[in-house]
Amino acid sequence: MLIMKKRNVENISKSELLSDLISSLGKGGFLKTPKVKQIFLAVDRSKYVLPQHEDLAFDDRPLPIGYHVTISAPHMHATALEYLKDHLKPGSKCLDVGSGSGIVCSYFMRMLEFSGMVVGIEHIEELTMRSYESIVADLHSVLEKKTFEVTALINEADPVIDDFKKKSLTPGQLLLVTGDGRKGFPQLGPFNCIHVGAAIGLEHTILLDQLANNGRMMAPVTGEFGHQEIIIFDKDAKGKVSQQKVLDVRYVPLTSKQKQLRGY
């Protein structure tokens, strides 16, 4: 059993804790660009963790969110935003596979400046609904201004999805869907940017098929002997894919709902 050691944060404000975290990520080389730092300052990570772990929300560590998955450590989210930032432009369409807590979708919507579309797909219905509540709580002031819309669906085949194909990307659309992330979400593709939050196998190409030309996908990939690496996949204007390895990691696998609920 994982035991979380809590520090005494009783007399420290969230803003101070977040400022300390951002300073640490900057010194570690994870936060580099002003816009990504600004986005990190805007997101309240405590809204995306379980209540019993709120005291740890601004530590640079992954935290369990139930169902045998975690919210990744902040340095991994910073790494993702830095590598994907040039593809997270206003008006872009983005996909977060294994959206879990919903925090990456929130980062992405802010990076798009609330103009564009972010789709998060997660096969645990309870996580989909909890992530919806977290995003609403974190972004309530923006939602009140009708700057973007957030929708949660418990069925990836919901006919309402057809309506999203016709919607304007201003205001932005954030759609959280319960479904099998291994299949991506072709209904609303292709996507300028795809982020995968769980480890895929080398043989998985279905997600790359949903990446738009001149788009980028970032995913942890499990290779020979179970070794995992974050790999950046770039698709050029003609659809040719190149890739580069970024760093070694250890992620939970992108697998079936049944295997995940059994603990793999």
Question: What's the CATH code of the domain at 134?
Answer: 3.40.50.150
The answer as to whether 54 is a domain residue is no
The answer as to whether 4 is a domain residue is no
The answer as to whether 25 is a domain residue is no
The predicted structure's pLDDT at residue 250: 87
The predicted structure's pLDDT at residue 11: 63
| Beta-ladder partners of 219 | 231
* Closest among 176, 183, 195, 203 to 256, alpha carbons compared: 183
Positions marked active-site:
72
pLDDT digits (tens, 9 = 90+) for 184-199: 999 999 999 999 999 9
Q: Say how many C-beta atoms besides its own lie within 10 A of residue 15's C-beta.
A: 11
The predicted structure's pLDDT at residue 4: 47
The segments of the chain whose pLDDT lies below 70 read 1-11, 203
The answer as to whether 199 is a domain residue is yes
Q: Where does the chain show beta strands of DSSP type E?
A: 63-66, 69-71, 93-97, 117-122, 148-153, 172-178, 191-196, 200-201, 211-222, 228-235, 241-248
The answer as to whether 173 is a domain residue is yes
The predicted structure's pLDDT at residue 26: 95
The predicted structure's pLDDT at residue 2: 43
The answer as to whether 53 is a domain residue is no
The predicted structure's pLDDT at residue 152: 96
Domain range spanning residue 149?
83-261
> What domain count does the chain have?
1
pLDDT digits (tens, 9 = 90+) for 10-52: 667 888 999 999 999 999 999 999 999 999 999 999 999 999 9
The answer as to whether 63 is a domain residue is no
The answer as to whether 198 is a domain residue is yes
The predicted structure's pLDDT at residue 13: 87
The predicted structure's pLDDT at residue 3: 44
